[in-house]
A and B are shown apart, each in its own frame.
Chain A
Amino acid sequence: MNKASFLDKEATRSVLASLLAILIGMLVGSIVIVIVGLTNPSLGIKGAWEGIRLVVGGLFATGRNTAGKLTFGFNPTSFGNMLFRAVPLIMTGLSVALGNKVGLFNIGASGQYLAGTAGSLYVALTLPTSVFPAWLVWLIAFLFGMLCGALWGAIPGLLKAFLNINEVLACIMTNWIAANVVTWFFDVSNLKNMLEGTKSGYVYKTSTVLNDVVIEGVRSTVGAAVPEGATVTATRGGVATAKMGLDKLFSGSQVNAGILVAILIAIVIYILLSKTTLGYQMKACGANRYAARYAGIRDKRNIVLTMAIAGALSAAGGALYFLSGNTEFFWNTYQSLPAEGFNGIPVALLAINNPLGVMFAAMFMSMLQICGQKLTELTAYNEYITNVIIAVIVYLAAFMLVIKTWIAKLRKGKAVSR
């Protein structure tokens, strides 16, 4: 058997396995919808059929016509929002996938995501745009967010490498610590949205223009409109990711250049893992830490470095999502962790830890989120059915990998006997 065709087959098999998982997930979701439809007289089989069509093709849903029938067609808002929501999923997916490649189960993406969010929001809303240009503030905020995430991610890495603490446990603990630290940080900060009375519990959007003013000797912060007789000491905020015309292409959506940044980072991680010495050393540690050490690879350094990079990736997801200028961060996170972190796990599993596959898996997941949204808008069902589908896919992924290693073993066995 020549090598190229075997590799081709391996790749096809991986894609087929993922597609099968998606198919079964959709099927289970549909079955739940039908059962609920049949037991609920207000829905009936007609409602169930509408539900199934929306779960599969919700991305193309355009609403209902005057006769009350569902209509489908190209929906630029949904497409744009799909791309926008894929950004954090690509980043956390990359983070988990990188960990998996090195044999570390990074369940701490949520905490790293929070660290990145807090770091980038802090810089974006504190550095005066009256001194620095807005694009520079954006860049510093983005990089600082990634730095925060890298430091946060390095903690479980250090604990794993030097004290042999299970990284899953360390990640879970650091997640909750991050949730509390971030709540505390914004609790005492002056970044809470005080200008809009209805927005209690939210941090300012990064696009909000804030003016630090002195009115009759009293310092305070006001919005873009400066009252008369006040002296402006500094202007902050007004930072947002560039749209680069994408908002015109997908009108009415939140999409911006963040998606391009995310794709670029995915390509960089792909090159890092498959084309560089560092990537090779990392993967060697993942395959067998002790064998790698015997071969002269510094396993402890690689574990810490991997977790730091994984942390920076998750953090970049948080930074890109909240630097977009049209999203608001709810800072009281101590009781619940951001779902984006945990959704990185199914994304990575669905992509079989391939950085380029992560892009498509993330798009698929954000498409499912849009479908769920449409389901809530247009029927009596709700968006949580898409989470059921995702959970089923993860469940299948747990033994999809096992089946594939089993096939690989079978092949090896044959080769030996021959």
Chain B
Amino acid sequence: MPFLIRQTLVYAVPLMIVALAGVYAERSGIINLALEGIMIFGAFMGVLFVHMVQQWGWFQSAYDAKNYLALQGFCMLAILFSALLGAVFSLLLAFAAINLKADQTIGGTALNLLAPAFVLFFIRIIANQNTLNMYTGDSASWFMLKKAMFGYGRTEKMGFLGSTFVDKVYVATYICIIVFIIMAIILYKTRFGMRLRSCGENPQASASLGINVIKMRYAGTVISGALAGMGGFVYVLTTANCSANGEVAGFGFLALAVMIFGNWKPGNICGAAFLFGLFKCIAASYSTLDINGDGIYALKNLNINTNIYRMLPYVITLVVLSFTSKSSRAPKAEGIPYDQGSR
């Protein structure tokens, strides 16, 4: 059970944060189909940051001295860096969609094509192979919380809460949850958030009240890029041993589905992300999953093909959407370029 919850968190958290990225863009009126591309870009930049800083030897002494606080700080810096670069990358979409009034779907598709191409081009030049790894060590030994850090011995148990939420968990996961809560509150409880949302519903009305729609849409897209970039890095950090290879296994598109599934509302998105995370987790590890700790792999004994578990999140999305699409609460002005003249 601790393993199941821990693994579900690992898959659910990137989905959650990237889906919120989608909400920020769409609530400001820009369809961000480029989430996948921004994730790929952010993941590459974060891994590159870790790779370079390790190469320069800046944190080697901290690692040797087992100074976990410094290593966690290093991890935070990498997350910040990937968020920053994700934001910069999303400016491409913002410029095309806001200033040039471009087709946002095609613009997003362009970014989705650009990110893996660009990333793989540089990975091949830097690493001479298709994957960029950490310069030294692995992500678990550098960034993961372990019971040894809290004075527990190899054979000692940490209890249910400890082994679920502390042992073998990345702090980055909790950072994402905190950022998710803060950003959700900003979107709903602050003046800025409400103004941003108004631009996705009726930009002309917002403009008549003195809100700068163009600025707000830029803000929405850039915040979206930062969150997606960060989500991308956290995804590869926690599931791919901090290595970038120009793909995030369709997580960006899945996050888009989570966003629509969650009806553009942070609370629902949280629930949807956990549902998807659970299925991802089951698909990845059902054959060794011991849910109630009795030593029997119940799901394996059901004898269902792996591919069924793998496709379940997508099938469920379609089924649920076919029941709920009539009551969908998509932002009214999303995808429509803002034209000051049309009132």
Is the CB–CB distance between A181 and B103 below 8 Å?
no
Contacts A391-B117, A398-B103 given; indicate if A183 touches B109 (C-beta within 8 A): no
Whether B303 is near chain A, meaning CB under 8 Å from some CB there, is: no
B102-117 to A contact mask, C-beta < 8 Å, 1/0? 1111110111111011
From B109, B314, B318, contact of A165 by CB (8 A): B318
| Residue A159 interfacial (CB < 8 Å) | yes
A250 at the interface (CB under 8 A from B): no
> Which A residues are in CB contact (< 8 Å) with B118?
384, 388, 391
- Which residues of chain B have C-beta atoms less than 8 A from A395's C-beta? 92, 96, 107, 110-111, 114
Q: Which residues of A contact B117 (CB under 8 A)?
A: 384-385, 387-388, 390-391
Asked if residues B307 and A180 are in contact (CB atoms below 8 Å), the reply is yes
Contact between chains at B102 and A172 (CB < 8 Å)? no
In angstroms, Cα B307 to Cα A381, docked, is 37
Per-residue interface assignment for chain A, residues 158 to 189, with 1 indicating a CB less than 8 Å from any chain B CB and 0 otherwise:
01000111101110111011001101100110
Query: Is the Cβ of A107 less than 8 Å from the Cβ of B256?
Result: no
Is A36 a contact of B125 with CB atoms below 8 Å?
Answer: yes
Contact across chains for A107 and B109 when beta carbons are under 8 A apart: yes
Closest CB in chain B relative to A335 CB, distance in Å: 6
User: Once the chains bind, are B311 and A180 in contact (CB under 8 Å)?
Assistant: yes
Instruction: Confirm or deny: B120 has a beta carbon within 8 angstroms of a beta carbon on chain A.
Output: yes
Looking at the assembled complex, report how far the CB atom of A67 sits from the nearest CB atom of chain B, in whole angstroms.
26
Per-residue CB proximity of A183-209 to B under 8 Å, as 1/0?
110011000000000000000000000
* A49 cross-chain contacts in B, Cβ below 8 A: none
**Stretch of B60-68, B148-156, B245-253, B287-295 on the interface side:** B245-253
**Roughly how many angstroms separate A342 CA and B321 CA in the complex, as a whole number?**
24
Is the CB–CB distance between A172 and B322 below 8 Å? no
Contact check: which of A168, A385, A390 meets B105 at CB < 8 Å? A168
- Complexed CA–CA distance, A184 and B249 (Å): 18
CA distance A328 to B314 in the complex (A): 28
A74 within 8 A of partner (CB) = no
- Nearest chain A CB to B277's CB is how many angstroms away? 16
Residue of B107, B256, B314 near A398 (CB, 8 A) is B107
> Any chain A CB within 8 A of the CB of B23?
no
Whether B318 contacts A172 by the Cβ 8 Å rule is: no
A40 contacts chain B at the CB level, 8 A cutoff: yes
| B244 interfacial by beta-carbon distance below 8 Å | no
Produce 1/0 per residue, B240-278, CB < 8 A to A. Answer: 000000010110010011001000000000000000000
Q: Do the beta carbons of A177 and B311 come within 8 Å of each other?
A: yes
How far apart are the CA atoms of A107 and B31 in the complex, in Å?
A: 15
Q: CB-CB < 8 A to A181: which residues of B?
A: 307, 311
**Count of residues in A whose CB is under 8 Å from the partner chain:** 49
Point out the residue from A164, A380, A384, A394 that lies within 8 Å of B106, measured CB to CB: A394
Q: Which A residue's beta carbon lies closest to that of B321? A: A165
Q: Least Cβ distance of A359 to chain B in Å?
A: 21
A398–B315 CA distance with the chains assembled, in angstroms: 31
B305 at the interface (CB under 8 A from A): yes
- Cβ of B329 under 8 Å from chain A: no
Size category of the binding interface on chain B: 35 or more
Q: A105: CB under 8 A from chain B?
A: yes
**Bound state CA distance, A110 and B321, in angstroms?**
22
Please determine whether A105 and B321 come into contact, CB atoms closer than 8 angstroms: no
Is B317 an interface residue, CB under 8 A from the partner?
yes
What is the predominant secondary structure among interface residues of chain B facing chain A?
helix
Question: Which chain B residue lies CB-closest to A156?
Answer: B318
Residue from B96, B305, B321 having most chain A Cβ neighbours under 10 A: B321
Of all chain A residues, the one with the shortest Cβ separation from B318 is: A173
Q: How far is the CA of A180 from the CA of B305 in the complex (A)?
A: 11
- A294 within 8 A of partner (CB): no
Instruction: Judge if A210 is at the interface, Cβ distance under 8 Å.
Output: no
- For A107, A184, A388, A398, the residue with the greatest tally of chain B CB atoms inside 10 Å of its CB is A398
**Residue A335 contacts which of B92, B96, B249 (CB distance < 8 angstroms)?**
B249
Residues of A within 8 A of B112 (CB): 342
Q: Are A172 and B113 in contact (CB under 8 A)?
A: no
B331 vs chain A, min Cβ distance (A): 13
CB pair B102 A382 closer than 8 Å: no
Q: Is A392 an interface residue (CB 8 A)?
A: yes
* Chain A residues positioned under 8 Å from B107 (CB to CB): 395, 398-399
For the complex formed, measure the closest distance between the CB of A134 and the CB atoms of chain B, giving whole angstroms.
Answer: 32
A384 CB contact (under 8 Å) in B121, B260, B321: B121
A23 at interface (Cβ–Cβ under 8 A)?
A: no
Are B124's CB and A382's CB within 8 A? yes
Chain A CB within 8 A of B161 CB: no
- From the candidates B103, B125, B256, B310, name the one contacting A172 in the complex (CB within 8 A): B256
Most buried by B among A181, A342, A395, A397: A395
Q: A232 to B173, alpha carbons, bound, how many Å?
A: 60
Report B-chain residues with C-beta under 8 Å of the C-beta of A399: 96, 100-103, 107
C-alpha gap A184/B257 in the complex (Å): 23
- B interface list, Cβ under 8 A from A: 33, 92, 96, 100-107, 109-114, 116-118, 120-121, 124-125, 247, 249-250, 253, 256-257, 260, 305, 307-308, 310-311, 314-315, 317-318, 321-322, 325-326, 337
19 A-B pairs within 8 Å (CB atoms) are namely A40-B125, A159-B322, A168-B105, A169-B257, A172-B253, A176-B253, A177-B311, A181-B307, A181-B311, A188-B305, A335-B249, A346-B113, A382-B120, A384-B121, A394-B106, A394-B113, A395-B107, A398-B96, A399-B96
